[in-house]
Amino acid sequence: MTNTVTPSLQESKLRPLDGITVVSLEHAIAAPFCSRQLADLGARVIKVERPGAGDFARAYDQRVKGMASHFVWTNRSKESITLDLKQPAALGALKLLLKDADVLLQNLAPGAAARMGLSFDALQQAHPGLIVCDISGYGEDGPYRDKKAYDLLIQSEAGLLSVTGTPEQPSKAGNSMADIAAGMYAYSSILSALLLRGKTGQGSHIDVSMLESLTEWMSYPLYYAYDGAAPPPRTAAAHASIYPYGPFATGDGNTVMLGLQNEREWKSFCAQVLDDAALALDERFDSNAKRNQNREPLLALILAVFSQLSSAQVEAKLESAQIASARMNSMAQVWEHPQLKARERWATVDSPVGKLPALLPPGRSNAFDYRMDAVPDVGQHTEAILRELGLSDEAIAGLRATAAI
């Protein structure tokens, strides 16, 4: 009997989405974040941009050697083709692209893709295996269907602003939470659709709503306010229902974040961090509900101790007591975070402005290496892709002459 050795995935360097082609009519964050993650797993992502300026997120700022921070984050490992889809010739080129595509992803204005004949229903007969994923603010039906949606507006509609900030002032999240949520659900939905197609041979339609995505993430605040109950109060960086949990000032002017989850930790905190074991039995603080009700006197006791210590000393005490804690890092400190460095989580990608650092995707795998290719320039791959579709140099020149590409 002959022994057959099967090479491991790592040896063969296969990625989960090698051989999958995604055509994306994308701008801003939600769809680009989704497609970038598909590219991370090996998919070929062809990003369709407007001739000239391209994705308007390219112009959000110039913080990364002249490139926009949002764009650099969400667009590595893609090919960029410019097409003016209002021109029949350019739309025809796009439809040629779809012949061999596995996924069509789009987050254009509501109804725009359908008006160009790019809805799932319009494409299904000619492309039965095609997966079509539409991302919009509110979904393809309902009274809000045609309403414009931006991240801040969805954060407001989904209730995030009502529970974020201080009692005096609601605050948006510091990053694009609604876009990110929608991008994540589009990403996971496309992965599930690819798995389903492997079983049925059929493509499917995915309708991702930013509102529904972020509302799902509202998690406990929704149930906390179930059946007309009062919602959780806005408590800045503190927790609305667990205490002590949040930021506490130290004697050297720094801030330490800490969190207690149970009574065992509370007793340890009192004995080893505050050096007052008896405090754990104080009837004002002997349960989380009571500590939550009596935040102000407990805060005063904690700060009285912490004011005599540096942040390093407080952190050492918390570690010794096995109390969860963290530093309130700046962005500069995150770039230099020792844990990210120790785990070698930074890679380098190319771009039109040179080499740039990029965080490897979460979820370190022993089976494959993530794809970490260049951030494309506007239309960088247009001619190469059109030639791949069979267009002649003369035809490409004609498209360029009419600004269709």
Domains and CATH numbers, the chain: 9-217+345-401 (3.40.50.10540), 245-328 (3.30.1540.10)
User: Rounded distance, CA 203 to CA 197, Å?
Assistant: 6
Residue 211 carries which side chain, given as an amino acid letter? Answer: L
What's the farthest any 2 CA atoms get from each other in the chain?
86
pLDDT at 13: 84
SS3 at position 177: helix
Q: Are 339 and 38 in contact (CB under 8 A)?
A: no
SS3 at position 348: strand
Taking 70 as the pLDDT cut, the residues of the chain under it are 1-12
pLDDT tens per residue, range 288-317: 999 999 999 999 999 999 999 999 999 999
User: Rounded distance, CA 165 to CA 233, Å?
Assistant: 9
pLDDT at 389: 96
pLDDT tens per residue, range 111-161: 999 999 999 999 999 999 999 999 999 999 999 999 999 999 999 999 999
Please give the DSSP secondary-structure letter assigned to residue 134: E
User: Rounded distance, CA 304 to CA 8, Å?
Assistant: 58
pLDDT at 240: 87
pLDDT at 7: 43
C-alpha separations of 56 from 64, 139, 173, 304, 353 in Å:
16, 22, 22, 51, 18
Q: Label the pairing between strands 44-49 and 205-209.
A: unpaired
∠ CA 351-356-362, nearest 5°, is 110
pLDDT at 12: 61
pLDDT at 65: 97
